[in-house]
Copies of this chain bind each other. A is one copy, B any other.
Amino acid sequence: MSPVAPPRLSLPELAQQLRVDAVRCAAAAGSGHPTSSMSAAELAAVLLAHHLRYGVARPDHPANDVFLLSKGHASPLLYAMLRAVGAISEEELLTFRQPGSRLEGHPTPRLPWVPVATGSLGQGLPIGVGLALTGASLDHLPYRVWVMCGDSELSEGSMWEAFAHAGHAGLDRLTAIIDVNRLGQRGPTRLEWDTGAYARRIGAFGWDVIEIDGHDIDEVDAAYRAAVEVTGAPTAILARTVKGRGAPAIEDRNGYHGKPVPHPDEVVAHLGGVRDLRVPLIPPDSDAVPYRFPTGEAELPTWQVGEKVATRDAFGDALAALGTVRGDLVVLDGEVSDSTRTGRFQEAHPERFFEFYIAEQQMVAAAVGMQVRGWRPYVATFAAFLTRAHDFVRMASISRADLRVAGSHAGVSIGPDGPSQMGLEDLAMFRALHGSTVLHPCDANQTAALVSATLDVPGISYLRTMRGATPVIYPPGEVFPLGGSRVLRASSEDRVTLVGTGVTVHEALAAADRLAADGIAARVIDLYSLKPVDAATLREAARQTVAVVTVEDHRPEGGLGDAVLDALAATGPVPRVHKLAVRDLPASADPAGQRRAAGIDADAIVAAAREVAAG
């Protein structure tokens, strides 16, 4: 694809070309971050010319090195790099930030050479850790992972989760290129050009560290060569650079973050004008084939109707069985595998189980990295603690990542541990993500079926599991389509509809029995799929009964009740809907006591149903 390179590609010239193109595309857009791009021009030029192994024509090549721009706002640099390697044209470069352009304000995978979206700082390096783990432990291929970071983002705790994980795992294929340009958005960074302080910190986490002048081509080249040679440890290259380098009027000056360079034509002229250098990248090893784990046969576990089983147990057992059949399934834990039951997968498939200790951001980021290479990650922790990784799942949805997340210990039903451990906002968090699927099974067989179903769902899928045992109500082998529901009680006499999910399905069934004894027939719907939602079944119930009671072990906002109201409002007249949810702040109590106190137990449902049925 690439034309033959000039015999001696001038790296200083290439660096100037990258600067010129960054200046030009931001000027054309009228916005963007050229100054944060210009500081890293030599770092980028040397990487492209001498070190990155990558087939531009085959961005999906399994042996390609990975390049991540953790400092995603420096997208003009990335787009300049893509022009220099022949991936995009001069014309496309100048579409930066225009409607319809693939060259978005911050990089996204609309461009095939961009594996993940960046732009929320502190995420590229943790995702790079996931890709380095993938190469070393899953793909078994020798590709390297190069992550270009800013200095400002070293303030994010997630970066230190990454340093801790990569240092301990000895991920020597990982190189963090840290562009220490001293200036953040609104002023100097905390440590400015004190690369020694960064080096001591990162070094203490088990990394090899190299301090260089980031504008000295030879120092940059030597640092990359050294990074490739280091074994047993990742490398951080701490490059002192100048923000806006190449535009003398604004070099190292505050107030020029995130805006086009003033007088761009003069700056381009000062930089030597527009160039058209083309860099032939070192190609990846063309014979490389990713490792595939052996698979075998296994049946999903089953339970008999009437058994009492926690859905977290069913989740763990199903995951272990699916791991036998699906060699691409990998599981990530945040130091709670005994609680979420992913420990059962670990026992069965230790090579595909990854422990991240209590670092939920790094855990989710690593999963995002793994799915880039086609692995199917399942991430699990307490539903409550997934809030810790909210920004990471948000960005994963922008990356169009295929990611499975399980949150255990749903709601007040966990009992005496108290509100800090209760997942009460998780449905709201996951439903609001673009393109997400949100599931909350109520029994063990349904859980196993849904775990299996999520393996092939695109986008972010969320499965909510429960700590305590619930009775098995579905026989083994039934099918639960995503976007479906189950009508558990129905008759032509139904006066009221009760909609539950998870534990509240059982409360609704108990309530229906008591209402029946009072002569009030109640339809009961198990709305196990919160997104997408089975609007047709809800609509039918709305036509056939006078009112709907929704009941959820979750806050009133963003969960089951809102999903039902939304579906009803979108499809026709809305009947009377009475929403039961956790409105107060729970304290310690046993599970049944918690549901009673929250007003989401059978008593509360009966009372609400009587009221609405009376019309």
Within the complex, what minimum Cβ distance (angstroms) separates A87 from chain B?
18
What residues of chain B lie closer than 8 Å to A588, measured between beta carbons?
97-99, 101, 103-105
Chain B residues closer than 8 Å to A385, beta-carbon distance? 120, 391
Interface readout for A172-203 with B: 1 if CB under 8 Å, 0 if not?
00000000000011100111000001001101
- The answer to whether A358 touches B153, judged by C-beta atoms less than 8 angstroms apart, is yes
CB of A400, distance to nearest CB on chain B (Å): 8
Instruction: Flag if A574 contacts B569 (CB, 8 Å).
Output: yes
A101-145 residues at the B interface, CB under 8 angstroms: 101, 103-106, 108, 110, 117-122
Q: Which of B110, B191, B333, B362 meets A587, CB within 8 Å?
A: B110
Most chain B CB inside 10 Å of its own CB: which residue of A435, A573, A585, A597: A585
Given known contacts A97-B588, A201-B204, A421-B119, A335 and B155 CB-to-CB distance under 8 angstroms: yes
CA distance A122 to B579 in the complex (A): 35
A384 touches B577 (CB 8 A): no
Residues in A41-56 with C-beta less than 8 Å from chain B: none
Is residue A218 within 8 Å, beta carbon to beta carbon, of the partner chain?
Answer: no
Q: Which of B388, B415, B597 contacts A390 (CB 8 A)?
A: B388
- With A201-B205, A336-B186, A561-B566 known to touch, is A161 a contact of B155 (CB < 8 Å)? yes
- Which B residues touch A359, using CB under 8 A? 155-157
A429: chain B residues within 8 A (beta carbon): 390, 425, 428-429, 432
CB-nearest residue of chain B relative to A101? B588
Question: Contact at A585–B434, with CB atoms within 8 Å?
Answer: yes
Chain B residues in 8 Å Cβ range of A293? none
Nearest B residue to A257 via CB reads B338
Number of copies: 2
**Residue A570 interfacial (CB < 8 Å):** yes
CB distance from A159 to the nearest CB of B (A): 7
What is the distance, in angstroms, from A460's C-beta to the closest C-beta of chain B? 12
Asked if residues A105 and B416 are in contact (CB atoms below 8 Å), the reply is yes
Shortest C-beta distance, A587 to chain B (Å), equals 5
Kindly list 16 other residue pairs between chains A and B, CB separation below 8 angstroms, not including A103-B588, A569-B574, A569-B579. Answer: A101-B588, A117-B419, A119-B420, A122-B358, A156-B359, A160-B161, A168-B190, A189-B357, A204-B204, A400-B585, A425-B433, A429-B429, A431-B558, A568-B574, A569-B578, A570-B579
Q: Which residues of A contact B (CB under 8 A)?
A: 29, 31, 72, 97-101, 103-106, 108, 110, 117-122, 152-153, 155-161, 164, 168, 184-186, 189-191, 197, 200-201, 203-205, 333, 335-339, 343, 356-359, 361-362, 384-385, 387-388, 390-391, 394-395, 397-398, 400, 415-421, 424-425, 428-429, 431-435, 531, 555-559, 561-563, 565-566, 568-570, 573-579, 584-585, 587-590, 593, 597
* 7 A-B pairs closest in CB distance: A157-B157, A119-B420, A574-B574, A160-B160, A558-B558, A155-B357, A105-B418
